[in-house]
């Protein structure tokens, strides 16, 4: 598919685009994944947002050992390894790293980078409960981020500019949603690998360019045949699906499975709802990014996410669920213990839990487990 190829090529040249933008005086705003930093704020400040979503490299995990214990989430250890060692060009190019603090794992990244590097880190807390006081604290955090970005870029983030950015991001969300929903039917026109790739692209490449590509992609998909129509339909969920951590999707595909829907707070941009374009735009952002979105597992409690998973499993008519999480992400680990019972009760489906430390030696065992699971689904 031409649009897919173009997006891939654009991702490959993404770093160059950032370098060129920086040379033109445009500020590069790095941010941590998880969906709690509204890119709209960076866009409204005339800057380029880029999510630090690359992962999957075991060498980076190993490089982190000098700075942090191994008993933390793999993705964040990998980020520490690449960020502190200075080997990741994205960390070297950003002007600030916006760090929505969600749990101990990403707090460790924020603190460690702050201590060991010259990167300008801007942490702001995400409450773990959806209550009025939590909403207000998150809103306060967004206002602090706004001021920080205005100081950095010298651009005032006016209501008009913010509204414009919201409209742009809404467009991107709508297109992603439209593409994703195409997988509800029996004929699935796009592989999960490609969908994940375009979703990752939405976190790192220029929105206007991506929107053009997504529009062409939708046209192409409407005329496309189904991909791999025979395999069991799967929901893939878990903690983090980083760019570069493609082995899980490869293994599922190789075993004949077909992921038709993904749910990851880190690694899949939330595209189900738009930000309101009426009222105060920063409040609208807080409403959408904090109150309206589905919570990650580190919320207290996080039953809303589990209900969402059940609903996705029903809506996308899946035959099974694969829970792919990274080592030592405690909130997800605990949920993975009791969710299968809920899933079974609500849908009759079973679940396979897999864990990764980005270690290539895991692949053999993972492959066997996936094959066995798919066999059991096929009956």
Partner 1 sequence: MAYYHELLKLCAFDETEIVSQKERIERTFQILELGPADMEKAVARIQKYFDTRLMGVRKAIGVWFKELFDLILCRYEGKKIIYYGYPPFQYIGLAIKAAAKSKNDFYVGCPEAIVSQTLGQFFHKLVPVLEAGEGAGLPPGHAMCSLLQVKVGALEKGIIPIPDLSIATSYFCDMGPKADELMQYKYGYPVEYIDSCLDSPWGLWPEYDHETVRYLGAQLDKLFCTLKNMFGIEINDYVWQQGRLIAGRLYKAINKLTRYLTADPVPLGVADSELILNFPIGCTGSVMDEGAEAIEILADEIGKRVQKGIGVVSKGSPRVLIVLQSISDPAVNRLIEDVGLAVPTTMALLPPPPEPESYPFSTLGEKRAEKAMFGGAYHSTYGMVKRIEASLKYAHVDGIIYNYPFSCRPFVCSNKLTKLHIEKETGLPTLLLDMDPQDERNYSQGSMRTRLEAFAEMLKQEKLRHKKSDIKSL
Smallest gap from Cβ 248 to partner 1, in A, equals 19
CB 214 within 8 A of CB 176: yes
> Is residue 357 within 8 Å of 239, Cβ to Cβ?
no
Tell me the CB-side half-sphere exposure of residue 35, using CA atoms within 13 A: 26
- CA atoms of 39 and 203, how far apart (whole Å): 9
Give least dist CB 96 to partner 1, A.
12
What SS3 class is residue 128? coil
Query: Smallest distance from the beta carbon of 259 to partner 1, in angstroms?
Result: 25
Contacts of 16 (CB under 8 A, 6+ apart): none
Binds partner 1 (CB under 8 A): choice among 8, 159, 184, 300: 300
Which of 19, 334 has the CB closer to partner 1? 334
For partner 1, the binding residue among 20, 104, 307, 372 (CB under 8 A) is: 104
Using the rule CB under 8 A, is 246 a contact of partner 1?
A: no
> Of the candidates 176, 182, 183, 186, which has an alpha carbon nearest to the alpha carbon of residue 211?
176
Nearer to partner 1, 10 or 116 (CB): 116
Interface with partner 1 (CB under 8 A), residue from 26, 87, 137, 340: 137
Closest approach, Cβ 296 to partner 1, in A, equals 11
Nearer to partner 1, 316 or 339 (CB): 339
Q: How far is the CB of 132 from partner 1 (least distance, A)?
A: 8
Partners of residue 324 on adjacent β-strands: 238, 354
Q: Are 179 and 190 spatial neighbours (Cβ–Cβ below 8 Å)?
A: yes
Task: Name the DSSP letter for residue 182.
Answer: G
Residues in a beta bridge with 322: 236, 352
Among 34, 49, 83, 123, binds partner 1 (CB under 8 A): 123
- Kindly state the smallest distance separating residue 13's Cβ from partner 1, in Å: 34
Q: Which is nearer to partner 1, 154 or 301 (CB)?
A: 301
Among 40, 103, 245, 263, binds partner 1 (CB under 8 A): 103
* Closest by Cα among 254, 243, 172 to 208: 172
Q: Which residue in 202, 196, 216 sits closest to 168, CA to CA?
A: 202
Residues at the site binding partner 1, with contacts judged by CB under 8 A: 67-69, 71-72, 101, 103-105, 107-108, 111-112, 114-115, 121-129, 131, 133-134, 136-137, 140-141, 297-298, 300-302, 327-328, 330-331, 333-335, 337-338
């Amino acid at each position: 598919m031409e649009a897919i190829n173009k997006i891939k090529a654009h991702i490959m040249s993404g770093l160059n685009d950032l370098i060129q933008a920086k040379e033109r005086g445009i500020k590069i705003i790095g941010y941590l994944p998880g969906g709690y930093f509204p890119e709209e704020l960076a866009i409204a400040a005339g800057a380029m947002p880029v999510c630090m979503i690359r992962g999957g490299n075991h060498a980076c995990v190993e490089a982190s050992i000098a700075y942090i214990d191994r008993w933390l989430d793999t993705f964040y250890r990998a980020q520490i390894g690449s960020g502190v060692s200075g080997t990741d060009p994205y960390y070297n190019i950003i002007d600030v790293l916006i760090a929505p603090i969600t749990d101990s794992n990403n707090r460790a990244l924020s603190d460690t980078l702050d201590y060991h590097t010259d990167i300008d880190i801007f942490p702001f807390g995400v409450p773990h409960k959806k209550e009025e006081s939590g909403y207000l604290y998150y809103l306060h955090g967004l206002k602090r981020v706004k001021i920080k970005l205005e100081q950095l870029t010298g651009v005032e983030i006016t209501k008009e500019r913010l509204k414009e950015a919201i409209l742009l991001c809404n467009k991107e969300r709508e297109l992603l949603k439209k593409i994703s929903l195409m997988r509800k039917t029996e004929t699935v026109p796009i592989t999960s690998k490609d969908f994940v790739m375009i979703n990752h692209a939405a976190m790192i490449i220029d929105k206007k360019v991506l929107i053009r590509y997504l529009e062409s992609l939708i046209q192409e998909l409407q005329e496309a045949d189904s991909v791999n129509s025979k395999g069991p339909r799967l929901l893939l969920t878990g903690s983090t699906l980083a760019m570069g951590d493609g082995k899980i999707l490869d293994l599922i595909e190789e075993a004949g499975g077909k992921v038709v829907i993904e749910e990851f707070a880190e690694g899949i941009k939330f595209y189900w709802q738009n930000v309101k374009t009426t009222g105060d735009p920063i409040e609208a952002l807080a409403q959408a990014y904090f109150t309206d979105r589905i919570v990650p597992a580190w919320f207290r409690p996080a039953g809303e996410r589990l209900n969402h998973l059940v609903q996705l499993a029903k809506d996308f008519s899946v035959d099974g669920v694969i829970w792919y999480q990274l080592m030592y992400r405690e909130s997800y680990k605990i949920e993975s213990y009791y969710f299968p019972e809920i899933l079974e009760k609500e849908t009759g489906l079973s679940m396979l839990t897999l864990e990764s430390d980005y270690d290539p030696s895991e692949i053999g065992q993972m492959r066997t487990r996936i094959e066995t699971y798919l066999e059991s689904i096929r009956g």
